[in-house]
């Protein structure tokens, strides 16, 4: 995979590494394990693996079409089509789930291998953005959903760049009518969002990122302010 000009080489290396770990962990699942619940409410491992395979294929298609100067919707049938596909595929055998995941990862790796550094700026249908936006989304989705699987990978393992990116990306989940200051205990980074009654939230960077993503880390961040409670989170941006 070729990185965009000036950025992305380390990110693509991280993505390649997480692909290898996903493949290895998926290979160890039997049918019973594939049916087990994950940390994502309402989703089994079959749901997570189906989603990852489908999203990888969707982003591979975005890249192929962009190289041809065309755009195509991310999922056939839009969000309803995406959701229906996940439900249809979730109950498959472990072998079928592995095959679907491998097909998606291979297609994505092949499509991205055909991109030159300038091609990441090509427009695509994903959020009416460029292909770099699909790379950033896949970086987020692959790491978050791999942690959801419950096969040993945890948010505490997220790298520094990913943790900071997740916090910044997910800040709009915080209430706009309340000033929330996030303080990272291990990186000294600071983020602020909203306007109103102030609340300060302390935690490690990855604890903050996991909380904003609606996931559990080893511990929750701590809130300090008028209520000493963590703000309620809105929908994903």
Measured between alpha carbons, how far is 57 from 198 in angstroms, rounded to an integer? 43
pLDDT tens readout for residues 34-88: 999 998 889 999 999 999 999 999 999 999 999 999 999 999 999 999 999 999 9
Confidence at residue 1, expressed as pLDDT on a 0 to 100 scale:
63
For the cut 80, the answer to whether the pLDDT of residue 218 exceeds it is no
Q: What is the mean pLDDT of residues 89-98?
A: 99
39 or 217, greater pLDDT? 39
Measured between alpha carbons, how far is 209 from 18 in angstroms, rounded to an integer? 18
pTM for the structure as a whole: 0.94
**Domains of the chain: residue spans and CATH:** 9-153 (1.20.120.450), 160-225 (3.30.1050.20)
Residue with tokens 């490690």: 204
Average of per-residue pLDDT values in the chain: 94
């Amino acid at each position: 995979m070729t990185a965009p000009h000036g950025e992305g080489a380390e990110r693509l290396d991280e993505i390649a590494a997480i692909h290898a770990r996903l493949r290895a962990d998926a290979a160890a699942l039997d049918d019973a394990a594939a049916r087990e619940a994950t940390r994502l409410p309402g989703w089994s491992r079959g749901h997570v693996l189906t989603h990852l395979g489908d999203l990888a294929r969707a982003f591979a298609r975005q890249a192929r079409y962009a190289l041809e100067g065309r755009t195509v919707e991310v999922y056939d049938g839009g969000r309803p089509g995406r959701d229906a596909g996940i439900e249809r595929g979730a109950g498959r055998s472990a072998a079928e789930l592995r095959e679907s995941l491998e097909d998606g990862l291979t297609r994505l790796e092949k499509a991205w291998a055909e991109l030159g550094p300038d091609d990441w700026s090509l427009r695509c249908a994903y959020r009416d953005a460029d292909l770099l936006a699909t790379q950033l989304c896949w970086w987020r989705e692959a790491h978050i959903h791999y942690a959801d699987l419950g096969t040993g990978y945890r948010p505490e393992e997220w790298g520094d760049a990913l943790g900071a990116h997740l916090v910044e990306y997910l800040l709009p989940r915080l209430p706009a009518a309340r000033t929330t200051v996030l303080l990272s205990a291990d990186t000294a980074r600071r983020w602020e969002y909203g306007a109103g009654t102030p609340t300060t939230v302390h935690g490690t960077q990855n604890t903050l990122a996991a909380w904003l993503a609606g996931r559990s880390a080893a511990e929750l961040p701590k809130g300090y302010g008028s209520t000493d409670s963590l703000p309620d989170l809105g929908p994903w941006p």
